[in-house]
Amino acid sequence: MKSVLIVLLGPTGVGKTELSLRVAEHFRIPIINADSRQLFCEIPIGTAAPTVEQQARVKHYFVGTHRLTDYYSAAMFEEDVLALADKLSAEATSLDESDQSFQRFQYGVPFALLTGGSMLYIDAVCKGIDDIPTVRDDIRNAVKLRYEREGLAPLLEQLKALDPEHYEMVDRQNPRRVIHAVEICLQTGRTYTSFRVGKKKNRPFDILKIGLQRNREELYDRINRRVDNMMANGWLDEAHRVYPMRQLNALNTVGYKELFSYFDGTWTLDEAVERIKGNTRRYMRKQMTWFKRDSDIRWYHPQQETEIIDDIARYLDNGKD
């Protein structure tokens, strides 16, 4: 009997949270969060993290488990989830067939539902990521200090000298990616490119990917309304509380950057909110471009709940057919 990880993915605002709860309840399995910002306990409103009530319905992992000051990466997430998967899989497959608390199938036993929109975190679990070493604190602090004092341009020149191949590929407007590549080069004495082999890793469980999609106009409207609701629910106060930590990488994300600019006096609050909506829509398009590259994803509209559950059940009965 194969262990099976069900993956429910899709762009921001598509409706993953509520559907994931109902799917997890149906198959009596826990949820593993794959949203890289929902890990941080200080920012539940701005990350649309599952509420206390929602977490009471289904056991959740990796929601509010870290502080903003904690260093965390996709590689660490891969390691943590695989360790958890071993535990959950063993528990699921050891249940007696007569146990009414769990539904048995012919082919596979579901042990968890992985859900979220962080593309790299999902790929880290499903495919594995390159074995890039964790950066030492002294190197991270030195590169960070240089960035703060001199800006991004000198680091781009340094990356060009250390790894010209990656320099040609990297998003040069993204400080985090430039900084990380420089850190790896300095720590290892190797190019960042040499670590990016892109080889898919084997997993001790099967993976079924269900993707959620809506038409673009529908998604735009949902994103706009969600931002308004988050503001009404206290997002501005939440952002103000973490404003003193704005330099942290965990806050270098859509929503907080715009609200921080409002606090700085760069924009009015209305301007900041409109920019949040526009940048969230832009991020949504980036997510869909990433997801559409994966031919293993079975796509549904979120309202096709019955069809999704039936598809999962068929897979668990028959395997990959």
- pLDDT of res. 283: 92
Residues 188 and 208 occupy one common structural domain: no
Task: Report how far apart the first and last C-alpha atoms of the chain are (Å, whole number).
Answer: 16
Q: 184 and 154 in one domain? A: yes
Domain identity same for 111 and 165: no
* CATH number of the domain encompassing residue 101: 3.40.50.300
Q: Confidence band (pLDDT; 50, 70, 90) for 45? A: very high
Task: Say if residue 170 is in the same domain as residue 247.
Answer: no
CA distances from 66 to 117, 227, 235 (A): 18, 24, 19
62-114 residue pLDDT tens? 999 999 999 888 889 999 999 999 999 999 887 655 554 455 688 999 999 99
Same domain, residue pair 6 and 118: yes
Residue pair 38/234 in contact (Cβ under 8 Å)? The answer is no
Same domain, 9 and 81: yes
Do 263 and 165 belong together in one domain? no
- Tens-place pLDDT, residues 286-320: 899 989 989 999 999 999 999 999 999 999 999 86
Contact of 3 with 108, CB cutoff 8 Å: yes
Q: How far apart are CA 44 and CA 34, in angstroms?
A: 14
147 and 208 in a single domain? The answer is no
Residue 109 and residue 181 in one domain: no
Domain count, the chain: 2
Q: From CA 207, how far away is CA 225, in angstroms rounded? A: 33
**In which domain, by residue range, is 185 found?**
137-195
pLDDT for 95: 67
Higher pLDDT, 63 or 197: 63
Residues 83, 205 within the same domain: yes
3 state SS of 244: helix
- Cα distance between residue 275 and residue 90, in whole Å: 46
Boundary residue ending a domain (179, 195, 211)? 195
Q: Domain boundary at 160, 195, 230, which?
A: 195
* 9 and 122 belong to one structural domain: yes
Q: Check: CB of residue 50 under 8 Å from CB of residue 63.
A: yes
Q: Are both 229 and 107 inside the same structural domain? A: yes
Domain end call among 152, 175, 195: 195
- CATH number of the domain at 165, please: 1.10.20.140
* Sheet with strand 298-300: strands edge to edge: 60-61, 31-33, 108-116, 2-9, 206-212, 298-300
- 9 vs 17, 215, 300, CA distance in Å? 10, 16, 10
Residue 321 tokens read as: 């057919």
* Mean pLDDT within 166-188: 87
